[in-house]
Chains A and B, each alone.
Chain A
Amino acid sequence: MQENRGLFTLDAAQAYLAAEPEMVTEKLSDRLFSVTDGQVRTLFLEGNKSVIAFDTFGTPGRARAYGKAIAAAVPGKPIGTVIYTHDHLDHSGFAADLAPDAEIIADELCAKVIKLRGAQGQLQPTRVLQGERHELSIDGVDLVLLNPGPTHGSGNLAAYFSDENTFFSSDTILANAKYGFMPDYHFCNFIRYMRGFLELDWDRFVPGRYEMTDRAGFERGCDFIEAVMNECQVAFVNFVPIWAYEPMKGYCMGQLGERFGDLEGFEGHIGQMAIRIVHHYLMGGWGLEDTAEPRVLMADLIEI
C-alpha cells in the first residue's frame, strides 16, 4: 500500500511514513487526555458520542497510532472532530489517515496555507474560524480556541479548558530548551502574545512537544526566549560574529547558563536558537506577519 506522502517525493520515504511508533497516553481529567510519540504531543477529549482530537501527528503511521491510542482510551466512540493547531505537517498533516470523515476545524489562515500546499494526506478544514477567540461547544465539550496573532506557523490556535485549568499551545513555549533553529517562529510579538495567555486561569500547560509543565514552567519558558532575544541583541551590537555558530553559542551560554542552564537541552540548542533569533534583528523580521501590527502578504488573494 502506498502511504499518503505529504510533500515527500522519494519512494524511499514509504517505510518512514508507514512506521507506527508507540504512543503514551495520559488521562488528565474525566474527559481530557494527552498523548505523545516521545517528541510531538497533543490532546484529545471524550465527547458524549464522539472524540475531539487535536492534530494528527506527522506521518500516516503516526496518525494511525494516534487513532489506536484514542480507541484504547475511549473505546466505542469515533473521532468526530479534528482541530488543527496550525498548518505544519508534523502536527496536522495526516487527517486522511486519522479520521477522514471527521469535521475539521482550523483558523482561516491555516486553511488557506493548507489549500495552497496541497500536501497528500492533509485534509482541508471543513469549518474555518476567523478572529482571536472562539467559544465552542462540540458534542457536550466546551472549549475556547485562541489566536492572538502570529506566533509559530500559520493560524496557530491555542486551546483553553477552564474546567481542567489546562492550556494547550503547539510549538510555541516548551518545558525545556529544545527549540532547535526555531522554524517558522514569528518573533516580533511572540512574547507579548504568549504572556497574554497568562491572563487566563490555568495551572497546567500542554506544549506541542515533549513534557507538560505548570504555569511557572510556562512563564519560565517565556522568560527564557525573551532572555535569548535580549542577549542576541547585545551580542550583535557588540560585534560578536553573528553569522558563526560557535561564537553565538559561546556568548549566549556564558550570559544565560547560570539562569537557564538547567533546562533540558540548553547546551545542545542555545547556539541554534541564537543563530535564528539574532537574524531577526539583523534582517528585521520575516514578512508582514512579523511586524508590530501584523498582516499577511497576499492572504486576501486566496479563497477557501
Chain B
Amino acid sequence: MSEGEHNCAEHCGIFTIGGDLPIQGAYRDICYQPVRDNIWTASEGIYRTIFLEGNKGCIAFDTFGTPGTARAYQQAIGRVFPKKPIHTVVYSHEHLDHCGYAADLAPEAKIIAHDYSNQVILGRHSDGQLAAHETFADERSSYEIDGCYFELIYPGHTHGDGNIAAYFPQSKTVFMVDTVADGVGYTTLMDWHLTHYVPVMKRFLSLDWDLWVPGHFWPVTRPRFIQILDYWERMFDFGQEAIIQGVDPHDWEGLNKYTDEKLGPLYGSEFRYHEYAAMNLSRYMQEYLTGGWGIEGNLAPQLGPL
C-alpha cells in the first residue's frame, strides 16, 4: 500500500491505495427480468448476468464487480425468489469486475469455475474473490443442479482466462461474458486474445440457439451475433491498413481521424462507435506490430464444431 492501510470496511479487491474506497460499498439498483424457462437476467445498466431458479435454491452466475453491487445482486435474487437462497455460483471468468466478490454475494455457496480461471484466482489473492470449490478442464461439461440443466463450454481462449459459456439447449439460449456484445468492442479490448477470438466464437454457430445473453448491455439474436463477428473479422484488415498508411497506434487524434474516415461510413452507427472505434483499431494494430501477446495470444485457435 502506498499511503497506509485501508480503512475501507469493504472487501477491497486489489486496490493498493489507503483510505476509504467509496465505490466499493456503493449501492446500485439491479434490474431483473425473466429470459426463458428458469433463466433470469440481472443488470445494473452496464454489466449483465443471469441466475437460475432451482427447486430449492438459486444458481447465480458471476457476482458483479464491487461488494455493494454483489449485495444488490443478492437482494435482487432474493426479491424474485425469497425462499430460495443462492447455493451455487458459476464464474464466467476470473476478472474482478464480473466475479470479484462472491464473499459478498453468497459466501457459503459452492463455486464452479474453469480450471484456468481458478489458477489465476488462486494466484491473485484478491480481497473478496473466493476460489472455486469445483473446477473443470474439458471443452464441455454438463451439470444437473437442483433441477437446473446446463452445459458449461470452454470454446478456446477468447478473453481473460478460462472464459466459459453457459448453454441451455432446452431454452436455445447461451450466456457468455465479454465476448460478443452489441456494438463495437470495449476500449482497447482489454485482455482479449485476438488470434483466437473470431474462429473460436464462430464455433458457437454449431449449437442450436437463437438468444445470446452477453455480459454487458442487452441480449442479441443469432443474426446479430454473426454481424458483430463480421466487424471483428474485418478489423484485422483495417489494423494492417492503418499501419501501412502510417497511423501511429498511440496518436489519439490520428487514430480517431482514421476511424472517422475509413470505418465511420461502415460502422459509425454502431453502439459506442465514437467512444471506442479508435481504441479498437489501436489494439488490432498492435497485433501486427508486436505479435500476439503471451502464450495464450499465440497458440493455434481451437476450430471445428463444439
Measured CB to CB, the residues of A under 8 A from B are 6-10, 12-13, 15-16, 58, 87-90, 93, 109, 112-113, 116-117, 119, 122, 153-154, 178-181, 183-184, 188, 226, 229-230, 233-234, 236-239, 243-245, 268-269, 271-272, 275-276, 279-289, 291-299, 302
Contacts and interface: CB of A to CB of B under 8 A. Distances in A.
Given A237-B24, A269-B250, A287-B161, A184 B15 contact: no
Interface in B1-36: 2-3, 13-17, 20-24, 26
B291 A181 contact: no
B22 A233 contact: no
Contact of A291 (B24, B124, B253): B124
B96 A282 contact: yes
A209 to B, nearest CB: 10
A188 B125 CA distance: 12
A284 B95 contact: yes
A13 B291 CA distance: 15
Nearest to B129: A284
A105 to B, nearest CB: 19
A294 B100 CA distance: 19
B125 A292 contact: yes
A268 B253 CA distance: 9
A89 to B, nearest CB: 4
A8 B15 contact: no
Interface string B230-245: 0000001100110110
7 contacts: A7-B287, A8-B240, A180-B282, A275-B279, A276-B190, A287-B161, A297-B295
Contacts of A154: 293-295
A12 B241 CA distance: 8
Contacts of A275: 187-188, 279
B244 A12 contact: yes
Given A10-B241, A282-B65, A284-B95, A234 B17 contact: yes
A296 B294 contact: yes
A244 B275 contact: yes
Contacts of B292: 7, 117
Given A233-B15, A238-B23, A291-B120, A286 B191 contact: yes
Interface in B226-275: 236-237, 240-241, 243-244, 249-253, 275
Contacts of A239: 22-23, 26
Contacts of A269: 250
B95 A268 contact: no
Contacts of A109: 295
Contact of A184 (B16, B129, B294): B294
Interface string B95-106: 111001000000
B280 to A, nearest CB: 11
Closest 6 CB pairs of A and B: A180-B250, A291-B123, A116-B298, A284-B96, A88-B290, A283-B95
B116 to A, nearest CB: 6
A288 B119 contact: yes
Contact of A181 (B2, B282, B288, B295): B282
Nearest to B65: A282
Nearest to A90: B289
A287 B237 CA distance: 27
Contacts, number: 186
A239 to B, nearest CB: 6
B126 interface: yes
Contacts of A285: 14, 124
B183 interface: no
Given A275-B188, A298-B295, A230 B17 contact: yes
B296 interface: yes
Contacts of A180: 249-250, 282
A107 B251 CA distance: 31
Nearest to A93: B291
A9 B300 CA distance: 16
B190 A183 contact: no
A117 B194 CA distance: 13
Given A237-B22, A239-B23, A87 B279 contact: no
A232 to B, nearest CB: 10
Contacts of A299: 295
A286 B160 CA distance: 7
B282 A268 contact: no
B295 A268 contact: no
A280 B123 CA distance: 15
B272 to A, nearest CB: 9
A234 B119 CA distance: 29
Contacts of A226: 2
A287 B116 CA distance: 9
Contacts of A7: 287-288, 291-292
